[in-house]
Structure 1
Amino acid sequence: MDEKITQMLIEEAAEARKQSFSPFSGFAVGAALMTAEGAVYRGCNIECSGLTASNCAERTAFFKAVSEGERNFKAIAIVGGPSDRDVESLCYPCGICRQVMAQFCDLDSFRIIVASDRAHWEECTLRELLPRAFRRHCMAEGSKES
């Protein structure tokens, strides 16, 4: 992916992180999801006292975009760490978020960028993070390969 786009998505994710509501874990995460057409949807993690009702930043961004009619996605950037200090390490999406990505994204072309800041980041495909993704066509076709 183009370096300028990557840097812009990292900045957007860092800005989204500022909106995190994470009073229980103290772990703030921001995400910036880019559609195939170039629109960007931000998301942050939102915690509830009943933790199973909480929502990750990545899913917040996806659900905002899907609720607006978007279905084609190009990339997501994720920045996360303890809310009381600067981000120092990379924060990968959880399994549930990876599964949501698999619902809406191509395993080989969708890019996932995890960053601590503009200078420290990694990029991978969804297939690299979720090599044996459960996909709807697996049930319909009995496929072993997704």
Structure 2
Amino acid sequence: MSLLKAATAVRENAYAPYSRFKVGAALRSTAGNIYVGANVENVAYPEGTCAEAGAIAAMCAGGEYQIAELLVISDSPMPVTPCGGCRQKIAEFAGPDVVVTMINLEGKTSVVTVADLLPGSFSAAHMANVNDA
């Protein structure tokens, strides 16, 4: 199954009764497996979860920790970019050259790398001296 088909299908399962803004995400792990996530809203808005975070959680639950590629789809006039928190989550599990594709339901597409999506990301390298003390 393609990432586009997987993300499009899971987007339909999004729980978005408040915003009606459904988002689907699909990622391929470096082992070649596809994991999906859909946004899940909560009446207390900050308690919702993003589609990208759901796909990453599914990957980790499957025992994998490296993203090879990611696709996000939404019903938006322009392709929706991951929020700041999801950009950091993506960077935790994907190298800077990993491709992130954002697409809307009409097929308008934007393709960037993780480095383009989150320049200057905070990484484990910043923590190198923490355990040396």
- Same fold at TM > 0.5: yes
1:112 touches 1:123 (CA, 8 Å); kept in 2?
yes
SS of corresponding position for 2:9: helix
Offset, 1:140: 1.9
SS at 1:102 equivalent: helix
Distance 1:29 1:119, change over 3 A: closer
Aligned with 2:42 (options 45, 48, 55): 48
Aligned to 1:112: 100
Taking a change above 3 Å as real, the CA distance of residues 105 and 27 of structure 1, as seen in their structure-2 partners, is: same
> Is it true that 1:122 corresponds to 2:110 in the alignment?
yes
What does residue 30 of structure 1 align with? Answer: 24
Answer whether contact 1:10 1:117 (CA < 8 A) is retained: no
Matches of 1:23 and 1:65, distance apart in 2: 26
Residue 95 of structure 1 aligns with an amino acid whose one-letter code is G
1:41 aligned counterpart, secondary structure? strand
- Secondary structure at the aligned position of 2:22 is classed as strand
1:117: Cα distance to partner? 4.2
List gaps (5 residues or longer) in structure 2: none
Contact 2:74 2:105 in 1 (8 A): no
Tell me the CA shift for residue 118 of structure 1: 7.6
Deviations 1:75-125 (A, max 9, x none): 1100012xxxxx5421110000000011111112x1100011484312110
Cα deviation, 1:22-61, whole Å, max 9, x if unaligned, reads: 1111110000111112110111000111112100000000
**Paired residues of 2:29 and 2:64 also in contact (CA < 8 A):** yes
Residue-pair matches, total: 130
Unaligned runs of 5+ in 1: 82-86
Instruction: Return the offset for 1:139.
Output: 2.8
CA distance in 2, matches of 1:117, 1:23: 19
| Aligned-partner SS, 2:57 | helix
- In the alignment, is residue 93 of structure 1 matched against residue 86 of structure 2? no
In the superposition, the TM-score normalised over structure 2's length comes to 0.89
Which residue matches 1:84? none
Distance 1:124 1:71 in 2: 21
The alignment-based identity, stated in percent, is 29
1:59 maps onto 2:37 in alignment: no
